[in-house]
């Protein structure tokens, strides 16, 4: 007869969900909007990392690789001032994000390329050539 056990993780995650669920809706939406969606594709010769970040310029991004950790970050500040006859209006907007990924060791870090177009930041991370370690039968002459 087995004894039921409880996993620590579901309780931990439900506590987090409950905490974020108590936040006011506008604050939750703001937090969700600050973290861009990322797609990572494992292709034959490389990895393709795509970050959805519309409305930005390529100068807004920082991409760093430090000991196998790839970090993509951005900080953007805008200030709009409008002066009319009867009023003065000034709006500030600040947004930032940071995403980090641990890269596998079979890469060529010196050949990583980044490109930003139509709201998508694309990084191509080439893989190193690997020896063919598949099983082979050796014929005896």
Q: Is residue 22 part of a domain?
A: no
pLDDT tens-place string over residues 53-83: 998 899 999 999 999 999 999 988 888 888 8
pLDDT the model gives residue 76: 83
- The pLDDT > 90 percentage for the chain reads 43
Q: Is residue 30 part of a domain?
A: no
Q: Is residue 137 part of a domain?
A: no
Q: Is residue 8 part of a domain?
A: no
Label residue 30 by pLDDT band (50, 70, 90). very low
Q: What per-residue string of b and e applies to 67-82 under the rule 16 or more CB within 10 Å gives b?
A: eeebebebebeeeeee
Checking if the pLDDT of 101 tops 50, the result is yes
DSSP 38-98: EEEEE-SSEEEEEEE-TT--GGGEEEEEETTEEEEEEEEEEEEEEE-SS-EEEEEEEEEEE
CA distance 95 to 98: 11
> Domain range spanning residue 119?
36-126
Q: Is residue 87 part of a domain?
A: yes
CA 18 to chain centre: 24
Label residue 39 by pLDDT band (50, 70, 90). very high
Label residue 26 by pLDDT band (50, 70, 90). low
Label residue 50 by pLDDT band (50, 70, 90). very high
Q: Is residue 94 part of a domain?
A: yes
Q: Is residue 50 part of a domain?
A: yes
pLDDT the model gives residue 140: 86
| Structural domain total, the chain | 1
Label residue 7 by pLDDT band (50, 70, 90). very low
Q: What is the CATH number of the domain that holds 89?
A: 2.60.40.790
Q: 4 - beta bridge partners?
A: none
Q: Is residue 86 part of a domain?
A: yes
Q: Which residue has the higher pLDDT, 121 or 85?
A: 121
What residues have CB less than 8 Å from 89, skipping those under 6 apart? 80, 81, 82, 83
């Amino acid at each position: 007869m087995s004894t039921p056990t409880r996993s620590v993780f579901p309780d931990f995650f439900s506590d987090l969900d409950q905490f974020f669920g108590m936040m006011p809706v506008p604050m939750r939406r703001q937090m969700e909007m600050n973290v861009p969606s990322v797609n990572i594709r494992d292709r034959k010769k490389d990895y393709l990392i795509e970050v959805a970040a519309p409305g930005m310029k390529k100068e807004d991004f920082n991409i760093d690789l430090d000991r196998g950790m790839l970090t993509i970050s951005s900080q953007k500040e805008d200030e709009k001032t409008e002066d009319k006859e009867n009023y003065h209006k000034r709006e500030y907007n600040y947004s930032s994000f940071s995403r980090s990924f641990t890269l596998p060791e079979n890469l060529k870090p010196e050949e990583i390329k980044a490109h930003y177009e139509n709201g998508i930041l694309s990084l191509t991370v080439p893989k190193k050539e690997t020896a063919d370690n598949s099983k082979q039968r050796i014929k005896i002459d």
